[in-house]
Amino acid sequence: MYLYTANHYIDVMPFLLQGLQYTLLITFVGVFFGFIIGAIFGLMRISNNKLVYGIATVYVEIVRGTPLLAQIFFLYFGLPELLGVNLDKLTASILAIALNAGAYIAEIVRGSVQSVEKGQTEAGRSLGLSSSQTMRYIIWPQALKRMIPPLGNQFIISLKDTSLFSAIAVTDILYQGRQYASGTFVYFEPYLMVCVFYLIITIPSMVILRRYERRLERE
């Protein structure tokens, strides 16, 4: 039981700062691997090979069609029973964010690549470049530039989604706020500060994204 003090706004800070470390770790590592997964499956989604396209489509539709919380429970509780693979809470959290974000990033990649004018592909082939070289040197750099705003939005979404991991006792920002509230029986201040912490992270990110989008519009 935590000692009562009048200034819970200050007393809750150490708890939330500890949770912030896990929130940022899960978000950055998860989205990093999510981008790798999304880039692979996004390119598979534009493949002419029906098997490759089918595999990517199944992954994207399953992940996008099921709640993230259900995916978390499946990875943390279901896999040990199914495969005998025990994942610790942090690993399960990063994997869940990576797989979930990867499905949405795959659609971002697919849309960005397909938005590049077909004439760019034809120009690359006329220069004697192979399909992979055209993608690497001509299409991908242009598509990557267009991906940045939606990738930034996905980062913010994934950051907020980390609050769901408190359901498996990951000590993120929300979990730490809940711990403080349950120990002091004070709820307004800790949960308000939880919201403030998320806003401190997300608002600068949104401002940067808006400025980048305006710069893209001017180009």
- Model pLDDT for residues 176-214, shown as the tens digit of each residue: 999 999 988 888 999 999 999 999 999 998 888 888 878
Instruction: Decide: 44 and 53 in contact? Cβ < 8 Å.
Output: yes
124 close to 29: Cβ distance less than 8 angstroms: no
User: For each of the chain's 219 residues, which pLDDT tens digit applies?
Assistant: 444 455 888 889 999 999 999 999 999 999 999 999 999 999 999 998 999 999 999 999 999 999 999 999 999 999 888 888 788 999 999 999 999 999 999 999 999 998 888 877 777 777 777 778 888 888 888 888 889 889 999 999 999 999 999 999 899 999 999 999 998 888 899 999 999 999 999 999 888 888 887 887 666
CB atoms within 10 A of CB 86: 10
Radius of gyration of the chain (CA): 21
CA nearest 149: which of 64, 216, 218, 219?
216
Q: What is the pTM of this model?
A: 0.88
Burial degree of 130 (CB within 10 A; 0-12, 13-18, 19+)? exposed
CATH topology for the 8-218 domain = MetI-like fold (1.10.3720)
Answer positive or negative: Cα dihedral of 199, 157, 30, 162: positive
The tokens describing 136, both together, are 């690497």
Cβ proximity of 22 and 206 under 8 Å: no
* pLDDT in the model for residue 219: 62
Contacts of 161 (CB under 8 A, 6+ apart): 68, 97, 100
Place of tokens 């009562």: 4
Task: Show me where the domains of the chain are located.
Answer: 8-218
